[in-house]
Amino acid sequence: MTPSPDRSPVGEVGRLTGRIRSTPSRLLHEEVLEPQFRYEAAHLLPWYITVEKVFALEYRRMGLITGPQAAEIGRLLHGAAQDGITADPQANMSDIAFALEQHVERGLSEPVTSWHVDRSRNDMQSTAQLLFGRQLLLEGAESILAFGQAAHRLATLTTDLPMVGQTHLQAAQTITPGYYFAAVSQQMAHTLRRLLTTHDGINLSPLGSGAMTGQELAWDRDAMAALLGCRAPQPHALTGVASRAWVLEIAAELSLLGSALSRFISDVMTWGSGPYGFITLPDELSGISSAMPQKKNYPILERIRGKSAHLSAYYLDMLLGQRATPFTNMVEVSKEAGANLLPMFTTLNTTMRLFTAVVENLSFDEHRMRAAVDQEFLGGFTLANQLTLHESVPWRTAQVIAGRYILAAHAAGLPPHRISPDLLRTAAAEHGITLADHETPLATAFKSAGELYEKKSAGSAHPDRVRELLEEQSAQYRELHTEWSARRDGIQAGLDRIDSLLGLNDGVSGGQGTAV
């Protein structure tokens, strides 16, 4: 009987399971299994190999296989990473775990009866995915750290350069780029600390959870977790195979980061717009108009803001992919719901690299920025403070008098630095207030960027306070670098030990020796 176009002929599938007699259909192979296989071969195979090596060590420890057998299995697993394996619906049902198993079995000098006894693909897959996600998180943290440090460097260079700060999209008070980018730097440090907590919280090994209820042999799950660089095994076997909450926890943090990045880049876009012209980027980071030769555009800024939106979209995709699914091992959760994990981190790293390049190449137009500061009555708040603190004018009345003065100055066509004690005297008299000194409060409030230097509180825009904050941030970044390096080194130490215990000393750890 000739197979239908949508059905593959019966091959070796009978040796994989006694329940299914036919190999996957062509449709299932082409649309689902083969693409999944290619993805896992490209990104998860090294971690599947690592897991298999840990299992081999455990079989040896339990006396189910010999030392030479474990070493031979380890060498063959090494070869799988180098030679590659392929999806074959007849031989391995286009399943990477089966393909890896067959690769080893074909290469064994003699059959190893107990290899793969008491085993399930469920916890193997869950572990490989977690290790891959952890690797992506470590790499993502590096790109966030690089951006945060770039923002910190820019802040240190621009702490004394006045610019208009806005509230409600209106000129409000004087700030500096240093003050602004110190906030950007602070947010990145905050994100990195949260991601450290996330990393440590998710770094629990599912290995040994079995299909869903644990295993029948006395696996040393603590030892296996340590070899994988995990801080402990996942305590509950069902959670080990059913949960992908770690995907959501990472994605949630990156969604929050994307929101913050979108706000920061929106301000940079405003500063670079025609009415402001506070910043410029070099030509190699700029674009042109095909129709308007006078224009120099900054599409890189739009790219950054657009990409930051994807981070929240990926989180929503992953959340909906898990929502209302049974809490057990499910392909829907383990594969579909996490399908965009790699694209999410790819987007994160691209966004961070682009934003880092922008920050490292920003030039500020000091003349335009100072001119913008000098044309606004940004010292109104300072004037009210001066009237209260030095003239004993009640605070709300002082606010009204300051506002009256600014209205009168506008009406008279006076710029902020052209102070008029007479106008202040008149504004105060309207409220029955007689001032002893009409000039000093105005001179303090409306000298060029003068109110910037009136700030005294920690964390304020005063350049000295910004420098103090940046010094604290320098210490934070040193600590964060140390903490992330410790996580990376700890993982690598475990992976190195796996090959050492198997007698594999070719310098490649777990097929993934340099990935972390």
**Domain boundary assignment for the chain:** 13-43+65-116, 122-367+465-495, 377-454
Give the per-residue pLDDT at 18. Answer: 63
- What is d(CA 173, CA 376) in angstroms, rounded to the nearest whole number? 9
Quote the tokens at residue 309: 């939106």
Written as one string, the DSSP assignment of 326-344 is -SS--HIIIIITTTTHHHH
Distance from the first to the final alpha carbon of the chain: 52
Contact between residue 492 and residue 509 where contact means Cβ atoms under 8 Å apart? yes
Q: Residue 64: CB partners within 8 Å, gap ≥ 6? A: 114, 117, 217
- What is d(CA 45, CA 97) in angstroms, rounded to the nearest whole number? 9
For residues 285, 287, 293, 295, the Cα torsion angle rounded to the nearest 10 degrees is -80
Task: Count CB atoms within 10 A of the CB of residue 505.
Answer: 8
Quote the tokens at residue 473: 């941030």
- What is d(CA 269, CA 273) in angstroms, rounded to the nearest whole number? 6
Give the per-residue pLDDT at 295. Answer: 74
Give whole-number Cα distances, 306 to 25, 144, 248, 303, in Å. 40, 18, 21, 5
Amino acid sitting at position 136: L
Enumerate the H helices of 232-298 as residue ranges. Answer: 237-242, 245-272
- Which phi and psi angles does 503 have, rounded to 5°? 75, 25
- What is d(CA 123, CA 130) in angstroms, rounded to the nearest whole number? 10
Task: Assign domain 122-367+465-495 to a CATH class.
Answer: mainly alpha
Token look-up 């008491």 returns 118
Give the per-residue pLDDT at 20. Answer: 67
Work out whether the CA dihedral 39, 42, 47, 48 comes out positive or negative: positive
Give the per-residue pLDDT at 509. Answer: 41
- What is d(CA 121, CA 97) in angstroms, rounded to the nearest whole number? 7
Q: Residue 61: CB partners within 8 Å, gap ≥ 6? A: 220, 223
Give the per-residue pLDDT at 68. Answer: 96
Structure letter (DSSP) for residue 288:
E
Element (H, E) at 175: strand 170-175
Contact between residue 329 and residue 241 where contact means Cβ atoms under 8 Å apart? yes
- What is d(CA 131, CA 125) in angstroms, rounded to the nearest whole number? 10
Element (H, E) at 387: helix 380-391
Contact between residue 194 and residue 168 where contact means Cβ atoms under 8 Å apart? no
Task: Assign domain 377-454 to a CATH class.
Answer: mainly alpha
State the pairing for strand pair 232-233/296-297. Answer: unpaired
How many DSSP H helices and E strands does the chain contain? 19, 8
Give the per-residue pLDDT at 132. Answer: 98
Task: Kindly report whether the global pTM for this prediction surpasses the value 0.85.
Answer: yes
- What is d(CA 142, CA 134) in angstroms, rounded to the nearest whole number? 13
Written as one string, the DSSP assignment of 52-77 is HHHHHHHHHHTTSS-HHHHHHHHHHH
Rounded (10°) angle between helices 421-429 and 395-411: 130
Give the per-residue pLDDT at 432. Answer: 93
Give the per-residue pLDDT at 11. Answer: 42
Listed as ranges, residues in the chain with pLDDT below 50 are 1-14, 507-516
Give the per-residue pLDDT at 2. Answer: 42
Enumerate the H helices of 203-326 as residue ranges. Answer: 221-227, 237-242, 245-272, 299-322
Any bridge partners for residue 389, and if so which? none
The strand ranges marked E within 275-383 are 279-280, 287-288, 296-297, 363-364
443: Cα within 13 Å, side-chain hemisphere:
5
Quote the tokens at residue 311: 């981070």
- What is d(CA 116, CA 330) in angstroms, rounded to the nearest whole number? 22
Any bridge partners for residue 296, and if so which? 288
- What is d(CA 220, CA 208) in angstroms, rounded to the nearest whole number? 8
Nearest to 354 by CA among 240, 467, 264, 227: 264
Same fold, 122-367+465-495 and 377-454: no
Task: Count CB atoms within 10 A of the CB of residue 471.
Answer: 11
Give the per-residue pLDDT at 451. Answer: 87
- What is d(CA 312, CA 196) in angstroms, rounded to the nearest whole number? 20
